[in-house]
Amino acid sequence: MSERLPRKVLVTQRFFDAESLVYLRANGCEVELVPLADGQADGDLSEDQLQALLADADAWIVGHAWVTGSLLARLPRLQAIARRGVGYERVDLAAVRASGKVATIAVGGNDASVADHALAMMLALGRRLGDSKARMINGDWTIALGGDLYGKTVGVIGLGRIGRGVVKRLSGFDVRVLACSRTPDWDYGREAGVRFVELDTLLAESDYVTLHMPLNDETRLLIDAAALSRMKPGAMLINTARGGLVDDRALLEALLDGVIAGAGLDVFLSETDGSYRTTTEALLALPNVVATPHSGASTHEGLQRTNLIAAQCVVAVLDGENPPAHCVIADGRRGQGGL
């Protein structure tokens, strides 16, 4: 067997673990980890910066950078683009196919991490953990009464891998679970004790509403002022999916006016639209908002899983083989498929 020539893999994400590095190097890859400044993500890099970094790369393990047609046209050597995550609204799939390249996502790697995060937000909101700590720091040890998750009604919008993970975790809390899905799986519903309902019914009856769907033209701003007005006054909204699913300005007004009782937010519209920055800051200042910096998938274990899946997809493409079909979002190689 002839010795394999080194293939260069560029990683523009933090927290790339040793096991995934070992895997890539054992499969004939030279790996370059791009150093990012504190608070910087690869989505902050300009197209010119990305082109300079990727000029001699055969594969790219990417986080939140925009993968555009104009960028791909400047990178003839690049063969594989592997997202360390599952969302791909920033990837131009048509351009990937037209350029003969392959784009993949890390399906299954962070499902458990995000499902855990959604439950953590429900519990933190219900028991007023953030508000209580802030009061104590200011010397106020008065008990802030919260509420149980036990016995409540939870509405799950989107029943993919993460949504089902949330349902599984909720089984220990003796809750009533409602679900809204484009394609209801009635057998699953019977087995898991989930009642499928229309969106309006879910919003009207749920004490907690948690979002678990992709961002696309159909779901963009799904939770707007009208949807928020249909929720219970004491309800909580959880968004660990995508910022564009919720109209953050309408959410801020709903929280200030008492239309709903609280929100747990891991994602924000300001991540992609700077005009919402002041809205995000106002949301963060509210005592009935629990917030994290798009970190729902970012656990040691979750990132190790997604790193390795991305690495395995890269090696498969560079070896001229097919990555797992459920990870492929675009495949421009002759005779190949893709979503």
Q: Smallest Cα–Cα separation from 31: which of 13, 8, 59? A: 8
100 backbone φψ class: left, alpha, beta (φ>0; ψ -120 to 50):
left
Pairing of strands 194-196, 208-211: unpaired
Q: Are 59 and 10 in contact (CB under 8 A)?
A: yes
Q: Are 20 and 303 in contact (CB under 8 A)?
A: no
Sheet holding 176-180, edge to edge: 194-196, 176-180, 153-157, 208-211, 236-239, 262-265, 289-291
Active site residue 294: yes
The active-site residue out of 89, 242, 321, 326 is 242
Active site residue 305: no
Active site residue 301: no
> Cα–Cα distances in Å, from 167 out to 199, 204, 212, 288?
17, 19, 11, 24
Using CA atoms, how far apart are residues 234 and 227, in angstroms rounded to an integer?
15
Q: Are 338 and 332 in contact (CB under 8 A)?
A: yes
Residue 93, burial from CB neighbour count under 10 angstroms (0-12, 13-18, 19+): middle
The active-site residue out of 97, 271, 301, 334 is 271
The active-site residue out of 74, 169, 294, 333 is 294
H or E element: which one contains 61?
strand 59-62
Q: Which residues are catalytic?
A: 242, 271, 294
